[in-house]
A and B are shown apart, each in its own frame.
Chain A
Amino acid sequence: EIVLTQSPGTLSLSPGERATLSCRASQSVSSSYLAWYQQKPGLAPRLLIYGSSSRATGIPDRFSGSGSGTDFTLTISRLEPEDFAVYFCQQFGSSPLYTFGQGTKLEIK
């Protein structure tokens, strides 16, 4: 069973700073099937990045994804106030079919 481990659990930064979020898989994940989601309080998750590095429709270019194999990264180049939220990574393909990481909370410092 594949496990996705996100780090850090909480990241405290200020608007304008750069955020780097990590997602590490217990076994290799296809880059085509690694995604990132943003979730704000009281709302459903929103797809940000798919295929490890492609931005979903309407996602600002300050969001970028990278990585391969077992190590993936979500980078937010310059934090805007609306970016403070919880971020989840997700893989498809390995048992179980879909797995989410436990999440990283990005909070205002």
Chain B
Amino acid sequence: EVQLVQSGAEVKKPGESLKISCKGSGYSFTNYWIGWVRQMPGKGLEWMGIIYPGDSDTRYSPSFQGQVTISADKSISTAYLQWSSLKASDTAMYYCASHIAVAGTFDYWGQGTLVTVSS
């Protein structure tokens, strides 16, 4: 069974750094793109970026380029999303998602990680 399991909720202060994770299992993690999607409170879905764990090829949405870093450790089947300096506007639910059976479509999703940034 394919599963993407994300790290738990985080509460941070503005200016702090953060790295959240997404662990894949039940499939060949190395061979499928895995992306990150932001959902701000009460809002829609925004694609942030995507990584191919096999060679760490990474693509970013122009809206998020330079704002976050996406990485992966294929040895432990885990993808990461990190911030060097959080802002209150980073408060959101963050989902990882992969397209395994269908190219260009997010057919498997993590459960989400809620990030709250508040002073």
A interface with B by C-beta (< 8 Å): 1, 32-33, 35, 37, 39, 44-47, 50-51, 56-57, 88, 90, 92-93, 95-103
Contacts and interface: CB of A to CB of B under 8 A. Distances in A.
B53 interface: no
A35 B105 contact: yes
Given A32-B104, A44-B95, A97 B109 contact: no
Nearest to B102: A50
Interface of B: 35, 37, 44-47, 50, 59, 61-63, 95, 97, 101-107, 109-112
B105 to A, nearest CB: 4
Contacts of A103: 44-45
Contacts of B97: 44-45
A93 to B, nearest CB: 7
Nearest to A47: B107
B13 to A, nearest CB: 26
Q: Pick from B45, B59, B101, B110 the residue with the most CB of A within 10 Å.
A: B45
Given A44-B95, A97-B47, A99-B47, A92 B109 contact: no
Given A47-B105, A50-B105, A90-B105, A98 B35 contact: yes
Contact of B109 (A35, A45, A99, A102): A45
A100 B104 contact: no
A97 B105 contact: no
Contacts of A51: 102, 105
Contacts of A44: 95, 97, 109-112
Nearest to A93: B104
A4 to B, nearest CB: 10
